[in-house]
Amino acid sequence: MGHDKLRKFAENETFACLLQPSAAELLSDGYFNLKDHPIKGHWAERMFGREPGAEIILELGCGKGEYTLDLARRYPDKCFIGVDIKGARLWKGAKTATLEKIGNVAFLRTRIEFITAFFAPGEISEIWLTFSDPQMKSENSRLSSPLFLERYRSFMRPGGLVHLKTDSRFLHEYTKAVVRANGLKLRCCTEDVYQRFLDSASGSARNDNSVISTERREWRDLDPVVYEVQTFYEKMFLEMGLPITYMQFVIDHDGPYVHPTDFDEKFWRDAEGPRRSFSHQPAKK
């Protein structure tokens, strides 16, 4: 392990906004019986100094935390938590939050499959999935799979939203199939965020059905963070001319979530091509 990474790990221990729980402690009763962390149900008061019930929004797989930080700067009345397993990447977000004294942002270093050990029913209002690994060979590892939606539902408020922003058409189409199979409310869905925004801003019309809006909302009325905030990888994808997709759906659902039966996995895997290997190279300093 390099000296710079060791330095970052050591500094991580000093950040009040960064929680790094012991995986061994969480797993002490087995993988299928995770032990709850003491902060579960108490994030508002213990981490953010807010009243219980304060609105909390998660970014899962936050990397360096660019999205989490920008959301926190824009919405000081809400609280934001970025979750990732990579300590060297979380260092960047936690360091920035500490230096800028951003009091409504925190970071959690853990595996996302352990997420239910940290949040109580109704504690989270929204989830952002930004450029998640599409996990083409493992459906249950996809962060928008029925397995993960079950986990999210256990701690989200009624009407809770999931945002998916990705360069992966495979993951976009898969998630759309999951939403369809479970009758979830799809509030907005576009295959090209930036082209649609430019069209809306210029007042031009398109008839290619690139956007679905079940509430008939104008694209320009959506939260501008969707097209104004860009992650490290997103900037690279845009420079390559790759379209960025976005969807927003409500997670409410009665009964167990089911797997989609109409998703042509082979077709979309072939359409995706090999570029995913590029998107998950180690981040630059």
Q: What is the SS3 assignment for 192?
A: coil
User: How would DSSP label each residue in 8-38?
Assistant: HHHHHTT-TTEE---HHHHTTT-TTSPPPPT
Of 29, 77, 133, 208, catalytic: 133
Q: What is the SS3 assignment for 249?
A: strand
Q: What is the SS3 assignment for 89?
A: helix
Please state, in angstroms and rounded to a whole number, the distance separating the CA atoms of residues 239 and 167.
12
Please indicate whether residue 133 is annotated as part of the active site.
yes
Joined together, the tokens standing for residue 215 give 């509430």
Q: Nearest CA to 90 among 75, 77, 70, 106?
A: 106
With contact defined as beta carbons under 8 Å apart, do 120 and 155 qualify? Answer: yes
Q: How many CA atoms lie within 13 A of 134 on its CB side?
A: 23
- Residues known to be catalytic: 133
